[in-house]
């Protein structure tokens, strides 16, 4: 009889583990995926796009960034292949923020056509590229951090 209880216990444990895994794959992970709309998609919504919390993603149009560090005033244009939207933020941009790169902003599109952003997030590649010729080697950079007595 003890062998039967062990089999039932193992089967229940397996069901619990598989159920937990299924929840993570189909439910839990889905809640943590970051969705955003592109400028073209947001503009296509018409009046439904205005004054609603939105996550907008696109590429910063080169030559459109205006940054006033004293006033903490950042302005730039986001684009995709179907449209452009002017973005305004009253926060400092992330250190990696550059024109021509992909960014995601959170905020609302106002009736003036400007997206008022409360958060700017940069998108970056997860690919590592070694430094190009002429750049200091990592081991040389580390040496500058270590003080010799």
Given this model, what pLDDT does residue 2 score?
64
Residues 12 and 50 in one domain: no
Residues 20 and 79 in one domain: no
Q: Please check the confidence at residue 4 and state whether its pLDDT lies above 70.
A: yes
Q: What is d(CA 17, CA 20) in angstroms, rounded to the nearest whole number?
A: 5
**Structural domain boundaries, residue 71:** 39-122
Residues 16 and 52 in one domain: no
Whether pTM > 0.75 for this model: the answer is no
Average pLDDT of the chain, as a whole number? 83
| Any domain includes 93 | yes
Q: Are 36 and 96 in contact (CB under 8 A)?
A: no
Q: Are 54 and 116 in contact (CB under 8 A)?
A: no
């Amino acid at each position: 009889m003890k062998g039967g209880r062990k089999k039932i216990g193992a089967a229940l444990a397996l069901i619990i583990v598989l159920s937990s895994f299924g929840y993570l794959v189909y439910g839990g992970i889905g809640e943590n995926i970051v969705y955003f709309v592109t400028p073209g998609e947001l503009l296509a919504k018409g009046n439904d796009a205005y004054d609603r919390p939105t996550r907008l993603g696109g590429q910063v149009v080169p030559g459109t960034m205006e940054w006033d560090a004293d006033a903490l005033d950042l302005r730039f244009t986001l684009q995709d292949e179907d449209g452009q939207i002017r973005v305004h933020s009253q926060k400092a941009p992330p250190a990696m923020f550059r024109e021509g790169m992909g960014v995601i902003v959170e905020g609302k599109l106002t009736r003036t056509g400007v997206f008022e952003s409360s958060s700017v997030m940069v998108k970056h590649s997860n690919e590592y590229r070694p430094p190009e010729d002429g750049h200091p080697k990592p081991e040389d950079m580390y040496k500058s951090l270590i003080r010799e007595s």
